[in-house]
Amino acid sequence: MSRINPQSATVGDALLLRAWALDLLIRRGPATRPLASGASDSLATWELFLRSERCSLPLRSRLAAGSPSLLGVGAAQLLERLATIELQRAISARGQLLEIGRLAAAHRLEPIVLKGGVAALSDDDPVDLADVDILLPREHGELLARLLNERGYRSTIAGSAAHLPACFDPEALPIEVHFAINDLNESGELQARARPFPGFPGLWRLSPADHLWHLLVHSAVSHPDRRGSLRDLLLIQSAARQCSAAELEHVSARIATLSRSAPLSAMLGLARAVGSGVARIDCFRPEAAANYLLRSRFPWLARSQVLQRMSATVFVLLGSRWDRQTEWAEASRHREPWEQSTWKFLAALQRRSPWLGGTTRRLLRMGRVVLGRLLAWPVAASARRLAERSVPVPARVDQTVVP
């Protein structure tokens, strides 16, 4: 298939494809929302939508059980190609987790599988993965990283406040060994409530409520750009289905106590609508429009170490005051000595003079936030306008819903 130019894609039509796909996922059968001709005819728009939402594999599954003829030949071929890539990643993650399980059993470790890795090992539909995440106490994580390095993995130079340097293998997905979880100050409690992963010796998993809570916080708080992502909604829906009524009530009550409850509640509500047959308003259309805009019009931002922060700031501006306060607090936060910059000259300055290096790095990060907000504001405003203008045709309700 020839390379598709994302510049020719239309963000408004991609939003219409999102509405159609969300309707398909909610009803588990043939979509009751008609495909707009402009959206359905453009392969560039299809690729923009599918690569942004990372949902080709579950969409292919739903269409195979319903009406694959809804798509044109070109769109069907594109969906098949991208779904195959997503499936290959899920299979790779499964194999890597099985290898980690064997190492863990031999060395008496208890690695906890996180996020998409749980779906890769479960009977549910797998989802696309960019890496494999596991949780271990730091000293055990360092041992596992050494064991992986002995088996051909290579570690990056820098880690983070939550995980060790990622382990890379050119033939597999990166593995991130976490000793903490961003925005969750309860790693010890999570590990205490973890349980063995049934059918996978050596591997553990979070309790159902903790798994759901982690997914919600990860997508709605830690990564504002993933709010409303169809891939993440499917993952959260699967996690919610594994919870008891009491556990779901506990998670909902926990959300209600937080000042940042709105995105968490909206993500959980929309995720639970997926597969239920009950339509729900998509309140994440501005975030989806921003993702489509950044991918189709500003792909060069991701290649600039100075400006790539602007992409995240777009979603901060689409969020609440809490998001903006959190971004500023993170930029002005004092870094620990081991949290070295990825910029060589700053890392060298931090080693020679920790105070001067740390202060310089903090000032640069604060300046980058200010610059990022100035550049991100027009993109965020455009995303809001596009979301308001591209209102989808209401889905027909005279269809039988698959229970």
What pLDDT sits at residue 159? 60
CATH number for the domain harbouring residue 240: 3.30.460.40
CA–CA gap between residue 12 and residue 10 (Å, rounded): 5
| 395, part of any domain | no
Rounded CA separation 294/14 (Å) = 13
* Cα–Cα distance list, 219 to 17, 245, 259, 271 (Å): 22, 22, 16, 12
Q: Does the residue 398 lie in any domain?
A: no
Per-residue pLDDT at 63: 86
DSSP 334: P
In the predicted model, residues of the chain with pLDDT beneath 50 are: 1-3, 338, 397-403
pTM here is 0.86
3-state secondary structure of 359: helix
> Which residue, chain included where needed, has tokens 């739903």?
62
Best CA proximity match to 224, nearest among 311, 125, 123, 329: 311
Task: Let me know if residue 399 belongs to a domain.
Answer: no
In a domain, 119, yes or no: yes
Q: With respect to residue 46, please indicate whether it lies within any of the assigned structural domains.
A: yes
Query: Is residue 396 situated within a structural domain?
Result: no
In a domain, 402, yes or no: no
The SS3 assignment for 395 reads coil
The tokens 């993965």 sit on which residue? 129
Q: Please give the tally of structural domains in the chain.
A: 1
State the pLDDT at residue 28. 62
Give the per-residue pLDDT at 108: 95
Residue 92 lies in a domain: yes
Q: Give me the domain span that covers residue 361.
A: 6-389
The three-class DSSP label of residue 195 is strand
Token duo for residue 238: 């699967």
- In sign, the C-alpha dihedral spanning 196, 198, 203, 204 is negative
